[in-house]
Amino acid sequence: MSRPPPSPDPDTPTNGKPAGDVRVTSDQLRERALLERMHVRLLAVAGGFSFLFAVIGLRLTFATVLTPMVPEARQIRPQVPEIPKVDPKGSLASALALPQVKRAMIVDRNNQALAVSLPVAQVYANPSELIDPKDVAHKLKSVIPALDEDETVRRLSLPRQFVYLARNITLQQELAINNFGIPGIYFEPGERRHYPLGMMAAQILGGVDIDDHGIAGVERYFDKRLNSDRNPLKLSLDVRVQAVVREELAKAKDTFKAIGACAIVMDVNTGEVIAMVSLPDYDANNFAHAPADARFNRAVTGMYEPGSTFKLQTAAMALQLGVAHIWDRFSSIPIRVGRFTIADMKTDHFAPWLSLPEVMAFSSNPAAAHIALDVGAQRQQDWLRGMGFFAPVPIELPEAGHPIVPARRNWSLSTTMTVGFGHGVAEPPLSIVRATVATVNGGILLKPTLLARDDAPVIEASDAPVISGGAESPDETQPSPEGTRVFSPQNSTLLRKILRLDVSKGTGKTGEVPGYFVGGKTGTAEKIGANGRYLKHVNISAFTSIFPMNAPRYAVYVMLDSPQGTTATHGWTTAAWNAAPTAGRIISRVGPMLQVFPDTAHADRIEAELAIPLRPQPPRGVRPLGPGNDPGDPRHAAEERQAEEHRRKVQSATERESARTSPESRGRG
């Protein structure tokens, strides 16, 4: 077997080449080996980078797709959660609470939202992290039109690490700014108070400051509660009734060109304020820019002479103290007191002597003054103080003002008389309503409240209506009043009849509403000018009323400030021409809303039950007050006062003389 020829030895010189060529070939081989090692290293490095990129890609996949990372809290705040299902009746209001807001909602008695806090954001920046302040300001301006671009550029150029740029921006604006991806722009969560019904109950709700703290109204009164308890604060107001009252009151204010007006609807058994309107008013969302006159709540802050509406208190006081009875008669002849004369506007429709029901029905000033004199100054003051007329009305409003009443040392004979018919004192309208309610609800002086009773039912369309005077009396279904007894039930029943008489046959006829058996009292008082004197033909006209009088449920009060006469009123500006008919229209509209419907089927029976004669006959053997028996005659009162003063002077002189001549006195001398 032959062998294959041997391979040429690379170290053996061939073709006659010199031995030096062998060394060159070895260098090439070493370079080749070095390149191969470098190639391996490059592959290893490339593999390492590939691994790192794979790890980073996997992490990014988890961070952005599989398990996205939560944005930094200061970059974007938590978003608004999904709102629950549509709830037109508002039954879910107590369960709806946005996690971003702290201040609780305010709702009416039927859970209609009156005040809510909405999540917003505050935009701020760290100028040291910004690249181009002008570009940033231009972008922000495109989202926030109200932003001052030049001022923003200036602030972003300051050598600071924190500057506020905008407050209370919306969710959409926040997202739009966040989408710009501007480094150095941050967001801070906040909330903004919103009043969805605008002008509705603006003076009652009040407002909050920039830090969401209450500064007026129930927002201020319940500030601590609203910030500590997220359950809605339920008010006694009914926005349906509130809307009707505001509409009718605004019509009257415009018709009679009054400078102001107010109206109140209150539950006579619970003290709950169902509606309270003061005009002019304002949009509650614009509290900071509302004029002072619009923010002024005339129902609790305004002080007005009550006029003849106060005669109800004079009559009630005399009856309860046993000073007068319904068969007693009082002089309506003008009374001269110093340089003043107490007289009636018209006397052609009544006699010189009036029974107590006639005094109320015809609204006689001199007769009311006589009744007040029969009671006396001291008992008059004590009574009015007990009825709450000397203190701010107790209501959950910090704006409740203090009444204007004469000091005890200035409570003269003339003061006793003028206060008897509603002059010489100034009271907030809610105090008049509170006292009126006490005369008809069985004699209980209630504490008015803006909070809904815990057991107050939500009015449903399917609830059985209350028919005034029907077979099932509302008295049997209403809660018993809780408060201070100031009248006997018998006198309360009597006063209900007297108030009904004032509407059926007296000055309040224009407040009548068929089937509602309205009772009430008109009142017209001249305004006091800047010089402290009464202004002729510039009045405060008011009507305080109750319905239905056979089973009282609600009080309605209307007041017009400085109304002007019209052709329809023949130029008259008294309450019978403006305030009383306005209250009647309110009653006819809100009655059905409050589930009290007119009853015409039992009208004859109800009127008979409420009837009281204009001039009742005294019981046999009783000598009534009247001609020849009038302890309230101011002449007798003046004589008695002079005699009392003389007696005191004599007693004082006697005591001084006794002290001077006593042994102890001589010893000390």
Residue-level pLDDT at 643: 55
Average pLDDT over residues 208-229: 94
| Residue 98, both tokens | 């946005």
Give the range among 17-31, 229-243, 423-437 with minimum mean pLDDT: 17-31
Give the range among 20-29, 266-275, 640-649 with minimum mean pLDDT: 640-649
How many Å from the N-terminal Cα to the C-terminal Cα in the chain? 176
For residue 534, the SS3 value is strand
Alpha-carbon distance of 229 to 540, in angstroms, equals 42
Alpha-carbon distance of 311 to 334, in angstroms, equals 17
Q: How many degrees, rounded to 5, is the angle at CA 484 between CA 480 and CA 488?
A: 75
> Which band of pLDDT confidence, cut at 50, 70 and 90, is reported for residue 363?
very high
Q: Which pLDDT tens digit goes with each residue over 513-536?
A: 999 999 999 999 988 877 777 877
Residue 435 DSSP code: H
Looking only at the bridges linking them, the beta strands covering 484-485 and 163-169 are unpaired
Residue with tokens 């009544």: 350
Give the range among 116-130, 295-309, 489-503 with minimum mean pLDDT: 116-130
Give the range among 90-94, 591-595, 619-623, 642-646 with minimum mean pLDDT: 90-94
Considering just the CA atoms, what is the radius of gyration of the chain in Å? 42
Residue-level pLDDT at 265: 98
Residue-level pLDDT at 336: 87
Beta carbons of 287 and 220 less than 8 angstroms apart: no
Residue-level pLDDT at 340: 82
Q: Residue 495: exposed, middle, or buried by beta-carbon count in 10 A (0-12, 13-18, 19+)?
A: buried
Beta carbons of 357 and 501 less than 8 angstroms apart: yes
Selected catalytic residue, list 117, 308, 364, 431: 308
> Which band of pLDDT confidence, cut at 50, 70 and 90, is reported for residue 668?
very low
> Which band of pLDDT confidence, cut at 50, 70 and 90, is reported for residue 597?
very high
Residue-level pLDDT at 285: 95
Average pLDDT over residues 390-417: 94
Write down the pTM of the prediction.
Answer: 0.78
Residue 470 DSSP code: S
Residue-level pLDDT at 429: 98
> Which band of pLDDT confidence, cut at 50, 70 and 90, is reported for residue 84?
very low
Residue-level pLDDT at 206: 96
Reference 610, options 548, 554, 556; nearest CA is 548
Query: pLDDT exceeding 90 applies to what percent of the chain?
Result: 61
Alpha-carbon distance of 655 to 658, in angstroms, equals 5
Residue-level pLDDT at 661: 57
**Helices 603-610 and 489-504, packing angle to 10 deg:** 120
Residue-level pLDDT at 456: 44
Helix (H) or strand (E) holding 264: strand 260-267
H helices of 441-578, where?
Answer: 489-504
Q: Which pLDDT tens digit goes with each residue over 10-43?
A: 454 545 445 445 455 777 777 888 888 888 888 8
Beta carbons of 444 and 481 less than 8 angstroms apart: yes
Chain mean pLDDT for the chain: 85
Looking only at the bridges linking them, the beta strands covering 596-597 and 466-467 are parallel
Alpha-carbon distance of 475 to 293, in angstroms, equals 40
Residue with tokens 């009257």: 252
Report whether pLDDT(459) > 80: no
> Which band of pLDDT confidence, cut at 50, 70 and 90, is reported for residue 479?
low
> Which band of pLDDT confidence, cut at 50, 70 and 90, is reported for residue 650?
low
| Residue 464, both tokens | 């059985």
The Cβ of residue 572 has, within 10 Å, a number of other Cβ atoms equal to: 17
Q: Higher confidence at residue 53 or residue 81?
A: 53
> Which band of pLDDT confidence, cut at 50, 70 and 90, is reported for residue 212?
confident
Report whether pLDDT(509) > 50: yes
Residue-level pLDDT at 628: 83
> Which band of pLDDT confidence, cut at 50, 70 and 90, is reported for residue 112?
very high
Report whether pLDDT(662) > 60: no
Residue-level pLDDT at 472: 36
> Which band of pLDDT confidence, cut at 50, 70 and 90, is reported for residue 94?
very low
Alpha-carbon distance of 243 to 251, in angstroms, equals 12
Tell me how far CA of residue 349 lies from CA of 143, 355, 361, in angstroms: 73, 14, 11
- Among 9-18, 169-178, 476-485, top mean pLDDT goes to 169-178
Q: Which pLDDT tens digit goes with each residue over 296-350?
A: 999 999 999 999 999 999 999 999 999 999 999 999 999 988 778 899 887 777 7
> Which band of pLDDT confidence, cut at 50, 70 and 90, is reported for residue 100?
low
Alpha-carbon distance of 255 to 438, in angstroms, equals 32
Q: Higher confidence at residue 466 or residue 47?
A: 47
Residue-level pLDDT at 462: 34
Beta carbons of 429 and 302 less than 8 angstroms apart: yes
Q: Is 308 a catalytic residue?
A: yes
Average pLDDT over residues 345-367: 90
